[in-house]
Structure 1
Amino acid sequence: MGGMTVPEIDVTQLPSGAFLLDVRENDEWVAGHAPDATHIPLGELQARVDELPSGPVYVVCRVGGRSAHAAAWLNHIGRDAVNVGGGMQSWETAGKPMVSESGQPPFVA
């Protein structure tokens, strides 16, 4: 992955109606995620890439590392992917909405 620059935006710049792809693990997703996000763990992304729309995909993880790898790979195969800088930690800090699947209040695991 050396030398590949990945387009990145801040969570506050995410366009409305953007396709948000969360590549975190299942336990992280269950604890708290963006309401409209689509969840495909990083390890499953290659097998499930056809589930993504043809337009821009905004990729998020916990702090931005895994999502940068995912976005780099997606761009490498000809997709249009943007990394969400700072990940769900920045999302939570920015006070953006979150939901959980656990029955508990959402948080970033």
Structure 2
Amino acid sequence: MFQRGPGVPTVEVGALSADAYLLDVREHDEWEAGHAPAAVHLPLSELIARLDEVPADREVHVICKVGGRSAQAVQFLNAQGRDTVNVAGGMLAWAAAGLPMQAAPGTEPFVA
């Protein structure tokens, strides 16, 4: 479905601006365990069918758990004319940087 290749644009979590559009491509259970508060959830497995939900008028920062799935998404989205960048290290880097996370109600957020 997607190919991971060289030359995928990447940004470190610490370099994201507060108003960055953050697209989380992890699966539903991973999202519910813990995610960035302002992130938009669109699982990689649904990306092709829901492509029109990805903004075409601004830069999109794509995140997953470690960076592999988000790199695949970036490669695909950029080929479709979107302006996307992979978030290096994914949610593991996000959590390690001490950035805020939220989870399903009543649970402590963690990276699944």
User: Which category describes the TM-score, using the shorter chain as reference length?
Assistant: over 0.9
Alignment size in residue pairs:
109
Structure 2, unmatched stretches of 5+, are none
Q: Structure 2-normalised TM-score? A: 0.93
In the alignment, is the contact (CA less than 8 A) between 2:33 and 2:109 conserved in 1? yes
Distance in 2, Cα, partners of 1:66 & 1:18: 19
Aligned to 2:24: 22
Deviations 1:9-39 (A, max 9, x none): 0000012211100000000000000000000
Moved over 6 A (4+): none
Aligned to 2:10: 8
In the alignment, is the contact (CA less than 8 A) between 2:5 and 2:75 conserved in 1? no
Q: CA RMSD in A?
A: 1.2
Aligned to 1:76: 79
Q: Structure 1-normalised TM-score? A: 0.95
Structure 1, unmatched stretches of 5+, are none
Q: Which of 95, 100, 105 is the aligned partner of 2:103?
A: 100
1:31 aligns with 2:33: yes
Structure with bigger helix share is 1
1:48 aligns with 2:54: no
